[in-house]
């Protein structure tokens, strides 16, 4: 764990140092760069503390193992201390892909955007054939889940870093698998 913290701090330091080295922006920027500039995320948790829980103003989210397979995300309200699955269906068993709180893998990290509107989850791709890591994006209530970023087969996610110098675009620190 200490090694990852040191690696994270070094990556952050190098990111900050490289921000001052960039050339002025090209006025004729390509279209993909313009689309990327529209994404603006600021996690409310430190990138060194991303884990199986993340807190908002009125409660926090926690990843819990599912006894049958995979894991679920629950929301715990600060006032009532009640834990509820991120699922609006009372009849749901919370153990398959029809449930918005269920994931077929162990969730690797959770974090909210700055407005507490979207929850992000780090984990694996859907299928067992795909062994890539994915950042999933969903509404704060668990609905409208989508793949936000998919690593290539030679990449994996080590830590999440927000780079202010790069137009507040979410960047993932990646490590090549050799």
Counting Cβ atoms within 10 Å, is residue 113 exposed (0-12), middle (13-18) or buried (19+)?
middle
Structural domain contains residue 31:
no
Structural domain contains residue 32:
no
**Cα separations (Å) of 25 from 53, 144, 152, 171?**
37, 34, 28, 18
Give the pair of three-digit tokens for residue 33.
């760069």
pLDDT band at 45 (very low <50, low <70, confident <90, very high): very low
Structural domain contains residue 47:
yes
Structural domain contains residue 124:
yes
Give Cα 19 distance to the centre of its chain: 23
Q: Which domain holds residue 14?
A: 2-21+39-176
Alpha-carbon Rg for the chain in angstroms: 18
Structural domain contains residue 28:
no
pTM above threshold 0.75: no
pLDDT band at 178 (very low <50, low <70, confident <90, very high): very low
**The pLDDT value given to residue 74:** 92
- 118-162: pLDDT as tens digits: 888 887 665 555 667 788 899 988 899 998 888 777 776 654 443
Residue owning tokens 């054939």: 129
Query: Helices (DSSP H) in 38-146: which residue ranges?
Result: none
Average per-residue pLDDT for the chain: 69
Structural domain contains residue 26:
no
pLDDT band at 163 (very low <50, low <70, confident <90, very high): very low
Q: 120, 113 in Cβ contact below 8 A? A: yes
Counting Cβ atoms within 10 Å, is residue 135 exposed (0-12), middle (13-18) or buried (19+)?
buried
Q: How many domains does the chain have?
A: 1
Closest CA to 123 of 70, 162, 59: 70
Structural domain contains residue 61:
yes
Structural domain contains residue 27:
no
- 4-28: pLDDT as tens digits: 566 555 555 455 555 555 555 555 5
């Amino acid at each position: 764990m200490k090694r990852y913290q040191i690696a994270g701090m070094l990556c952050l330091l190098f990111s900050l140092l490289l921000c001052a080295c960039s050339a002025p922006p090209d006025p004729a920027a390509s279209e993909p760069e313009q689309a990327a500039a529209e994404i603006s995320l600021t996690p409310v948790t430190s990138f060194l503390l991303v884990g199986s829980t993340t807190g908002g103003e009125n409660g926090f989210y926690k990843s819990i193992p599912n006894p049958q397979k995979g894991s679920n995300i629950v929301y715990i309200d600060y006032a009532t201390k009640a834990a509820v699955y991120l699922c609006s269906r009372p009849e749901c068993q919370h153990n398959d892909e029809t449930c918005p709180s269920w994931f077929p893998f162990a969730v690797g990290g959770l974090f909210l955007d700055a407005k507490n509107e979207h929850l992000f989850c780090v984990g694996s791709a859907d299928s067992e054939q795909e062994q890539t890591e994915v950042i999933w994006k969903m509404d704060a209530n668990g609905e409208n889940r989508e793949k936000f970023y998919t690593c290539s087969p030679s990449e994996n996610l080590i830590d999440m870093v927000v780079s202010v110098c790069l137009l507040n675009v979410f960047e993932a620190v990646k490590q090549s698998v050799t």
